[in-house]
Amino acid sequence: MTPTDFVADDELILRHIPGGTTWQKPDGTIASPNFRLRPGEVGISVSRLVITSPEAFMARLGDPTTGSRIAFARAADIRALGFEAVSAPRDYDLGQAELRPATADATAKQTRKALAMLFRYVE
Amino acid sequence: MATLTEQLDLILTLKPNWDGYNADPIRPRLVALAKDFLEFFQVMERVTGQDFRLFVHPTRVGGVQIEWTDASQEHELEIDPDGSLGFLHIDRATGAMTEKKFSPPAEGLAFAAGWLPLLAQCGSGLRLAA
């Protein structure tokens, strides 16, 4: 596996979820604003479990003392929502990838809600 | 657990990149508006006796999202820095989603900031009259 390889349908995709009740709802679901694109962003930054270990991922982005968590979803399920999972390796994370809207409307609230409902926390 | 108002105050302290993905800091005037919305909802909870299960979240663009639930639907209201208000409604039985966006830049915020305290007062009045 190399960082530029195609993201396979059975790969697990990771996203950091900041700690605290304002980002992680008490009922265990993930808040949809976690998946909103900022102006100028073409895709939602994620990492590929096949390349990036959860430990390295948390060390780079998270703060376990504040309750940071990692969520995951399967690439095929993300694609079914109208996103492309595209590898976008960086020096600091060779497993970095982006979820870029293909047929999905990234400006729609329904789209990020559907993504939020798809991702699950790593236990 | 912190109250919703305390959570909104915490949101105000967020630094740039608070999510590790370059999120923007939250605009104070949007937090102020969110507090007005919450006051309205809390008055309505007292008037109706319902628990709307309110939540607040910062958004990556510097705004605030409020969520609440009623007997048949989940609702999300996103308050954006450009003054627009975006609603998402989810039917709890079917999962069907509908959304609406109101984008009169600045006017949306001014409008909401004007009528929310009035509605909250009306709600209080209803409770007193009941």
> Closest to B88 (Cβ–Cβ): which among A23, A62, A113?
A113
Report residue A62's pLDDT band, with 50, 70 and 90 as the boundaries. confident
Domain count of chain B?
Answer: 1
pLDDT, tens digit, 9 for 90 and up, residues B9-41:
999 999 999 889 999 999 999 999 999 999 999
Predicted-complex ipTM score? 0.87
Q: CB B97 to CB A113 under 8 A? A: yes
Q: Confirm whether A6 is domain-assigned.
A: no
Query: Given the DSSP bridges, would you call strands A44-48 and B64-69 parallel, antiparallel or unpaired?
Result: unpaired
Cβ contact, residue pair B20, A36, below 8 Å: no
Whether A5 is covered by a domain: the verdict is no
**Facing A109 at nearest CB: one of B18, B24, B86:** B86
pTM of the model: 0.86
Q: Is B7 close to A22, i.e. CB distance below 8 A?
A: yes
pLDDT the model gives residue A1? 66
- Could you tell me if A92 lies within 8 Å of chain B, comparing CB atoms? no
The tokens 């870029």 sit on which residue? Answer: A100
Is B34 a domain residue?
yes
Could you write out the DSSP letters of every residue in A22-57? TTB-TTSPBPGGGGPPPTT--SEEEEETTTS-HHHH
Examine residue B97 and state whether it is found in any structural domain, yes or no: yes
Chain B residues with CB under 8 Å of A31 CB are: 55, 57, 65, 67
In a domain, B38, yes or no: yes
| Enclosing domain of residue A51 | 12-121
Q: What is the pLDDT of residue A63?
A: 78
What total of structural domains would you count in chain A? 1
Percent of chain A scoring above 70 in pLDDT: 93
Residue B129 included in any domain: no
Q: Is residue A99 part of a domain?
A: yes
Residues B67-122 have pLDDT tens digits of 999 999 999 999 999 889 999 999 999 999 999 998 865 555 666 666 666 566 65
Residue A2 domain-assigned? no
- Inspect the interface and report whether the beta carbons of B10 and A16 lie closer than 8 Å: no
DSSP state of B3: -
Say how far apart CA B121 and CA B123 lie, in whole Å. 5
Span A13-29, mean pLDDT? 80
Does residue A100 lie in a domain region?
Answer: yes
Is the CB of B19 less than 8 angstroms away from the CB of A21?
Answer: no
Query: And the tokens for A5?
Result: 């390889």
Structure confidence at residue B128 (pLDDT): 44
Of the CA atoms within 13 Å of residue A108, those in its CB half-sphere come to: 14
Q: A10-44 as b/e, with b when 16 or more CB fall inside 10 Å?
A: ebebbbbbbbbbbbbeeeeebbbbbbbbeeebebb
Q: Tell me, yes or no, whether A108 lies in a domain.
A: yes
CB–CB contact A18 B20 (8 Å): yes
Quote the tokens at residue B54.
Answer: 């309110």
Tell me which chain B residues have a C-beta less than 8 angstroms from the C-beta of A60.
20
Q: Give A113's contacts in chain B (Cβ within 8 Å).
A: 76, 88, 90, 97
CB B40 within 8 A of CB B121: no
* Domain extent at residue B85: 4-124
Long-range contacts at A25-31 (CB < 8 A, ≥ 24 apart):
A25/B55, A25/B67, A26/B1, A28/A121, A29/A116, A29/A117, A30/A71, A30/A116, A30/A117, A30/A119, A30/A121, A31/A116, A31/B55, A31/B57, A31/B65, A31/B67
Dihedral of alpha carbons A95, A101, A106, A112, sign = negative
Q: CB-based contact (8 Å) between A45 and chain B?
A: yes
